[in-house]
Structure 1
Amino acid sequence: MPFSDPANPAEALQLLIQGNSRFVDGTRLHPNQDADHRTALAPGQTPFAVLFGCSDSRLAAEIIFDRGLGDLFVVRTAGHVAGSEVLGSIEYGVGVLGTPLVVVLGHDSCGAVTAASNAYDDGNSPTGYVRDVVERVYPSVLSARAAGRTSIDEMVDEHIRKTTDFLVERSGVLAEKISTGECAVAGLSYRLHEGTVRLVSGHGALGEHLVTS
């Protein structure tokens, strides 16, 4: 079946949700994965969403959202921790490529969040650069604990919220695009066993999609 480009952020999010439903149901269409589409994309790209997600090997964006070549501009780090390189990549997707949606994708049982929670409990952090990742997640764990949220998955949701807020607060390009309605940010949480996504946080016009508590 043909896929038209989304006209706004809400439509872009709807395309992702529909693709995820197909992935969960086992009715994937594998759109935009053929040789003709590959050739057509060679001159340039026009993705409809920036996907900033955790590097976990089970979060392959094009698979869990049933999308193909040229659909998603993907940026991934462990624990979806964001620094200047991530912000620059997202600003390129939004400001240069004109994507109408930025998605922050976290997941249940996140190792980075678990490590930060363990560091809170016992005071021990990993060594090397993994420690830097954990330290960037740590404020989300503190915020969740202060609000009485003690399970790892509740902390994951808090980390997703903190990340979406961080992107909008730090990126003037993204904030401006949101203010004009050209772009929106959606924080999604993925369940590893079921394969489903749930909207946790958002900035901008996401249409009928409601943010959960």
Structure 2
Amino acid sequence: MTRTRSSAYASPRQGRSTRSSPHHHAPQRSSHLLITQPDRPRVAGAQGSHLLAERPGAAPDRGLGDLFVVRTAGHVMGPEALGSIEFGVDVLGCPLVVVLGHDSCGGVGAACAALETGMTPAGYVRDVVERVTPSVLAARAAGQVEPDQILAEHTRHTADLLLDRSRVLADKVAAGQAAVVGLRYRLADGSAQLVAARGLDATVPAAS
């Protein structure tokens, strides 16, 4: 069975329990994956922190072999992250890229703090802050100053940046073979709101 963009997006949203099945993490499943790749939905994701490992509700009923995950602070897109996502889409055949932003994101918080204090962190954390700052400025210019609003803007910006910087991904989306969506995830209740959809016929709620 070939997974499509729409089915990959819909499958985690069919009212399933947010508890992961023990089968998805069982040792025998790891052994199976060494032999064959299961015919299951795959999602290449860029996310800011720890959601899929520590919060299974972020990807309900998903386990080993189901997701191809790329993690960076503030879901910033450097060459390594872009290359990994292109590998997931072009080599593994992932039909859907999910930019999963979450509340209390350290990267967004650090960028906001740097703008307010005029002080930037040392080391490579500064690079993360500099990559997130344009999203914070764009949100503020649009009168969006609440943390959830800034996070949504940064998630949308990341989705667009992926398509702008990756010709491989942009070509897949243009050909109808892949899609990119941005989700704003709430840690407290496990809910996720769609904030961006590129190459997918999905209704994005009005910005709030």
TM-score by length of 2: 0.89
Identity percentage of aligned residues: 49
Choose the corresponding residue for 2:43, options 43, 49, 52. 49
Q: Which residue is equivalent to 2:12? A: 16
Q: Which residue is equivalent to 2:131? A: 136
- 2:26 partner letter: D
**Alpha-carbon contact 1:178-1:184 (below 8 Å) kept:** yes
**1:42 partner SS:** helix
Counterparts of 1:1-213 in structure 2, within 5 Å, are: 7-18=3-14, 21-23=16-18, 28-30=20-22, 32-45=24-37, 48-55=42-49, 57-60=50-53, 63-64=56-57, 65-66=59-60, 67-205=62-200, 207=201, 209-213=202-206
Cα displacement (A) at 1:121: 1.8
**2:183 partner SS:** strand
Cα displacement (A) at 1:6: 5.9
Distance 2:93 2:23 in 1: 21
**Alpha-carbon contact 2:20-2:63 (below 8 Å) kept:** no
- 2:48 partner letter: C
The Cα offsets for residues 44-102 of structure 1, whole Å up to 9 and x where unpaired, read as 546611011112x3453882213011000010011101111111000000011111000
Distance 1:12 1:162 in 2: 22
> How many residues are aligned here?
202
Distance 1:132 1:59 in 2: 24
Cα displacement (A) at 1:29: 3.4
Point out where structure 1 has 5 or more consecutive residues left out of the alignment: none
TM-score by length of 1: 0.87
Cα-Cα RMSD: 2.0
